[in-house]
Amino acid sequence: MNNDFDNQDIDLNKYSKAKSGSLSKAGVGLWMLEHKRHLILGIIVILGGVSLFLYSYFFYNLFDYLRYGDEQQKNLNELSTANLGAGTIKVATPLETLEEKMFYHGDSYDFLAKVKNPNDNFFANVSYCFVDADVDLACGSTIIFPGEEKYLLIVSEKLEKKPGEQKFKIKSNRWERVDIRKYPNWKDYYSLRADFTIANIKFDKTVSMDGSYRNFDNLNFDIRNNSPYNYWEVPLSILMFSKGNIVGVNTYRALEFKSGENRQIKITWPNSASSVDDVKVFLNLNVLDELNYMSYKL
């Protein structure tokens, strides 16, 4: 008589694997029991950290709203009513052109325009040209800060023919409202970064001794960077006066100007004005240009 049970092969490996798996699970459970206190403390720390972050975020936004909410709502109301038609609130007062001139010397032309931004809460990003009828003679772009009266200069421009009637024209102007979150006090922000002293300005004329008898203008002055910032370049505008009238212009760039540094500047260029009794040097620094700031080196 055949016994079926005797003919079956018994796979002991599967029982070994099952036992091993049970022991593994038991080991994990035992480890969790042994470290139960640490696990609970870890969960409490994680939940506490998340709660602290959420509360901090809530109170930050609450403080931000209480500090700036009214001003921002006022700005939004102005913007929403700006284009409703005549008689509504003006978002920005137009720029004012106070003066414009052209100077000819040698075979080149210098152009000047004095422009005022009458707004105390708007930047003006301006593209402009000096034109003769419909022909653009020289063009540039700049930013004019709130309340600023700025000299726009383009020098040593060579033209094919003498202009008939030169005029200054603003091609485009993009207004940008001063962000009170970035600049709670714009005047203080600007003054800190544009803190330069220009002194001991001396101007004279000389005649070359090489036989050409050309006249040259010579300008010497001291400039000090009182700000805590280093700049890759510091642009300067130079204006020459005779009896209160502007009779010539020039520009200069002081490169790699570090905080606390004092420099003596000496510039010489071919004669551009016959009579000069006063010279003024103006800072033309864009403090919003982040690429112009040099990092400190240890």
Residues 194 and 288 in one domain: yes
What six digits make up the tokens of 221? 């002055």
Residue 54 lies in a domain: yes
Contact 157, 138 (CB under 8 A): yes
List residues bridging with 173 in a β-sheet.
126
Tell me which of 234 and 6 has the higher pLDDT: 234
Residue 255 lies in a domain: yes
Rounded to whole angstroms, the Cα distance separating 230 from 258 reads: 4
CATH code: domain of residue 262: 2.60.40.10
pLDDT over threshold 60, residue 65: no
CATH code: domain of residue 112: 2.60.40
Last residue of a domain, one of 177, 196, 229: 177
Residues 202 and 277 in one domain: yes
pLDDT over threshold 70, residue 54: yes
**Structural domain range at position 33:** 13-91
Last residue of a domain, one of 129, 144, 177: 177
Rounded to whole angstroms, the Cα distance separating 225 from 180 reads: 27
Residues 162 and 196 in one domain: no
The pLDDT-based confidence of 81 (bands split at 50, 70, 90) is very low
In this prediction, residues 43-58 reach a mean pLDDT of: 78
Residues 22 and 110 in one domain: no
The pLDDT-based confidence of 69 (bands split at 50, 70, 90) is low
- Counting DSSP H helices and E strands in the chain, the numbers are 4, 13
Last residue of a domain, one of 71, 91, 111: 91
The pLDDT-based confidence of 298 (bands split at 50, 70, 90) is very low
Rounded to whole angstroms, the Cα distance separating 125 from 145 reads: 9
Number of domains present in the structure of the chain: 3
In this prediction, residues 237-255 reach a mean pLDDT of: 96
- The pTM for the full model equals 0.70
Residue 8 lies in a domain: no
Residues 32 and 68 in one domain: yes
Spatial neighbors of 205 by CB under 8 A, at least 6 apart, are 215, 216, 217, 218, 271, 276
The packing angle between helices 36-81 and 12-34, to 10°, is 70
Residue 151 lies in a domain: yes
Residue 34 lies in a domain: yes
Rounded to whole angstroms, the Cα distance separating 195 from 6 reads: 103
E strand or H helix that includes residue 177: strand 166-177
Residues 108 and 85 in one domain: no
Tell me which of 26 and 269 has the higher pLDDT: 269
Residues 27 and 87 in one domain: yes
